[in-house]
């Protein structure tokens, strides 16, 4: 068996690391760099370039140079079409509408998995050259808010590259391993991870070798690329104002603008202003045009102020979900190259009132953590336990269109939970299990991950069969749902695959709508619960009348039946107040029926206890005597 490595498959750069002598070591690329640009390019003859060589020729070959592919992982073309104008290569729809990169040199589309596999293959080859042995297994990191489709795509990319992916772990979790390997004390850590294309905030409890994630939140479409794009847009706007030419229509110009913007962003992290100088950026009527603009740090911070506001929300969400205050955080660690920006560091200080820990290179920390996790799985690293979480709540649809949560968001995984459900009508032969993910109480406001039927339920009155539904999430976040009818043992199950899971935009929409519609959701939930309670009372009262037989006189039976019908009518067509009124009336009638049944039972018991042929002696008279 070959060696196992840890890989940070990044939007801008990727890194590979390995455990050597009990310590994680970052492996340099064949070109001598500790990071590998996540760029793939093709020459006109079809030759493939990966890493720094691909990035170096991007300006002269923009159409055949693919970068930032991680942003399109697990997405359809419709979901990412708005980004087409800011990249030099074309996006086209692949299988199932998947966003793919079109390569003219090959005259075909490449899926994000295929492009990512080329980057992973490069890292694998460089690692094998360094180690002198085969590398066939890996732990690969993903943003904490990557959904199942994106995680599955990442795992597939690893397999295409010839790697057995032992584990997919969250980037902030991996970073905490790198920072916390030698920690002895119990601490609460906040991981602030702003990379090239994604942003995550995670809160972890670390102590005595246990790393437990308490909460995670983020934005899988916020990163250094977006800060670069703000500069690109400003340069385009200023050039158009001065020269009347739209540079976004020139693919080669777009690539040069992107590279210049990235350099300007980096330079502004250490100086107060920078000069963006791009000679011969384009030509009009064979007359060359040059771009020469000065950008100050203040202007850059003004341009990116809306992005900084977007950073705040996941931070506060993670703190709230961890059920703590920002002041309770013991340590803040920064991950990702974008955290080098002064405004980001200043914002983190303001939010946490702490100086961030920068003892590990933010570009390498995730890969180091992945290598440590690989060491844990391989038995090289002892006495460390890693406990991750699931980012959204999971459950099933129940009667009345209610989302019944079995597993709450930020629950530690792996996890397993079961709950008993029943049928809604008499002699119901089967039930449909609708597996949902989200945060809204109304079932159709959440994402349906899959449906399956449990048939073969024996004929029985409503609410008698017992159906046990079990949710089981493994360490990779893969969900299995099963349902079993307890009487007969009949069982069905489903494994939720990537195609059915949420993308980041849907997650954000659900959380946002949950906040905006909290009061409406509460009202709906109360109404649905009232309707369910009313149905149950009507059914129970009807059953009581049926079982009581002649013990209930006809007038009482007729009165109760009319009240049952009134309640059912109110449930179908009425408002909450009408249902509550009809419920109270039937409840009162039901209590009256119960009292009569108890009285009738007492009379029967007394009669049964009386000896034949003897008269009943009055108790008081007997005592006096």
Q: What's the helix, strand, coil split of the chain in %, to 5?
A: 45, 30, 30
Asked if 363 is an active-site residue, the reply is no
CA proximity to 327, closest of 358, 354, 345: 354
Q: Which of 70, 230, 289, 442 is catalytic?
A: 70
CA proximity to 68, closest of 14, 122, 143: 14
Distance CA 590, CA 415 (A): 43
Burial class (CB in 10 A: 0-12, 13-18, 19+), 18: buried
Q: Which residues contact 201 (CB under 8 A, 6 or more apart)?
A: 172, 190, 191, 192, 193, 216, 217, 218, 314, 315, 317, 318
Phi-psi region of 408 (alpha: psi -120 to 50; beta: other; left: phi over 0): beta
Q: Which of 109, 126, 171, 331 is catalytic?
A: 171
Is residue 525 helix, strand or coil? helix
Asked if 226 is an active-site residue, the reply is no
Distance CA 270, CA 331 (A): 25
Distance CA 383, CA 387 (A): 13
Is residue 394 helix, strand or coil? strand
Q: Which of 193, 226, 388, 485 is catalytic?
A: 193
Burial class (CB in 10 A: 0-12, 13-18, 19+), 59: middle
Distance CA 453, CA 469 (A): 12
For the chain, the first-to-last Cα distance in angstroms comes to 100
Output the CA torsion sign for 525, 530, 531, 535.
positive
Pair 1, 354: CB distance under 8 Å: no
CA proximity to 112, closest of 171, 60, 70: 70
Q: Which residues contact 586 (CB under 8 A, 6 or more apart)?
A: 537, 538, 541, 560, 563, 564, 566, 567
Distance CA 251, CA 239 (A): 16
Structure tokens at 369: 């953590």
Asked if 124 is an active-site residue, the reply is no
**DSSP run (H or E) holding 265:** helix 251-267
- For residue 164, the cross-strand partners are 137
Distance CA 263, CA 257 (A): 10
Q: Which of 3, 8, 109, 442 is catalytic?
A: 8
Structure tokens at 563: 């009240």
Distance (Å) of CA 354 to CA 24, 201, 351: 28, 16, 8
Rg (the chain; Cα; Å)? 32
Q: List, in sequence order, the alpha helices (H) in 77-223.
A: 77-80, 112-131, 148-160, 171-180
Is residue 194 helix, strand or coil? strand
Q: Which residues contact 291 (CB under 8 A, 6 or more apart)?
A: 235, 239, 247, 276, 277, 278, 279, 281
Backbone angles phi, psi at 69, to 5 degrees: -65, -25
Asked if 587 is an active-site residue, the reply is no
Residues serving a catalytic function are 8, 70, 171, 193
């Amino acid at each position: 068996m070959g060696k196992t490595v840890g890989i940070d498959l990044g939007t801008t750069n990727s890194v590979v690391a390995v455990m050597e002598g009990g310590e994680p070591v970052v492996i340099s690329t064949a070109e001598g760099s500790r990071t590998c640009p996540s760029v793939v390019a093709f020459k006109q003859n079809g030759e493939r370039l990966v890493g720094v060589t691909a990035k170096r020729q991007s300006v002269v070959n923009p159409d055949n140079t693919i970068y930032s592919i991680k942003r399109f992982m697990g997405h359809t073309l419709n979901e990412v079409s708005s980004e087409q104008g800011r990249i030099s290569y074309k996006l086209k729809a692949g299988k199932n509408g998947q966003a793919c990169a079109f390569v003219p040199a090959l005259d075909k589309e490449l899926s994000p998995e295929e492009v990512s596999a080329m980057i992973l293959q490069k890292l694998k080859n460089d690692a094998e050259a360094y180690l002198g042995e085969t590398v066939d297994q890996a732990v690969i990191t993903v943003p904490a808010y990557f959904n199942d489709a994106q995680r599955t795509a990442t795992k597939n990319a690893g397999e295409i590259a010839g790697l057995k992916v032992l584990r997919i772990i969250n980037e902030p979790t991996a970073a905490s391993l790198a920072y916390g390997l030698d920690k002895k004390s119990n601490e609460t850590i906040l991981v602030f991870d702003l990379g090239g294309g994604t942003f995550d905030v995670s809160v972890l409890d670390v102590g005595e070798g246990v790393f437990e994630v308490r909460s995670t939140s983020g934005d899988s479409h916020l990163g250094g690329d977006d800060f670069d794009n703000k500069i690109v847009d400003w340069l385009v706007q200023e050039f158009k104002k001065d020269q009347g030419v739209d540079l976004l229509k020139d693919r080669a110009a777009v690539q040069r603008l992107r590279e210049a913007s990235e350099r300007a962003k980096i330079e502004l992290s250490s100086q107060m202003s920078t000069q963006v100088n791009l000679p011969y950026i384009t030509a009009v009527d064979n007359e060359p045009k040059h771009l020469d603009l000065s950008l100050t740090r203040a202007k850059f911070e003004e341009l990116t102020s809306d992005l900084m506001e977007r950073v705040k929300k996941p931070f506060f969400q993670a703190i709230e979900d961890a059920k703590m205050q920002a002041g309770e955080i013991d340590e803040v660690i920064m991950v990702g190259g974008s955290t080098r920006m002064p405004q980001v560091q200043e914002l983190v200080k303001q939010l946490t009132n702490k100086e961030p820990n920068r003892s590990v290179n933010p570009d390498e920390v995730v890969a180091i953590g992945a290598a440590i996790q690989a060491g844990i799985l391989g038995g090289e690293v002892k006495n460390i336990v890693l406990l991750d979480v699931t980012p959204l709540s999971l459950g099933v649809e129940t009667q009345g269109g209610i989302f019944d949560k079995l597993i709450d968001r930020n629950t530690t995984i792996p996890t397993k939970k079961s709950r008993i459900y029943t049928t809604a009508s008499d002699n119901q032969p089967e039930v449909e299990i609708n597996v949902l993910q989200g945060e809204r109480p109304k079932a159709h406001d959440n994402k349906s991950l899959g449906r399956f039927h449990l048939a073969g339920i024996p004929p029985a009155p409503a609410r008698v069969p017992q159906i046990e539904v079990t949710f089981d999430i493994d360490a990779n976040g893969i969900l299995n749902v099963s349902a079993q009818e307890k009487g007969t043992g009949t069982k069905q199950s489903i494994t939720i695959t990537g195609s059915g899971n949420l993308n980041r935009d849907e997650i954000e929409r659900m959380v946002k709508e949950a906040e905006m519609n909290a009061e409406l959701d509460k009202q709906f939930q109360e109404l649905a619960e009232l309707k369910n309670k009313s149905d149950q009372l009507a059914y129970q009262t009807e059953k009581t009348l049926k079982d009581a037989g002649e013990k209930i006189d006809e007038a009482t039976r007729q009165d109760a039946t009319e009240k049952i019908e009134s309640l059912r009518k109110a449930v179908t067509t009425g408002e909450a107040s009408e249902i509550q009124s009809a419920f109270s009336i039937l409840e009162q009638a039901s209590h009256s029926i119960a009292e009569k049944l108890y009285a009738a039972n007492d009379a029967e018991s007394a009669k049964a206890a009386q000896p034949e042929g003897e008269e009943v002696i009055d108790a008081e008279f007997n005592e006096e005597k």
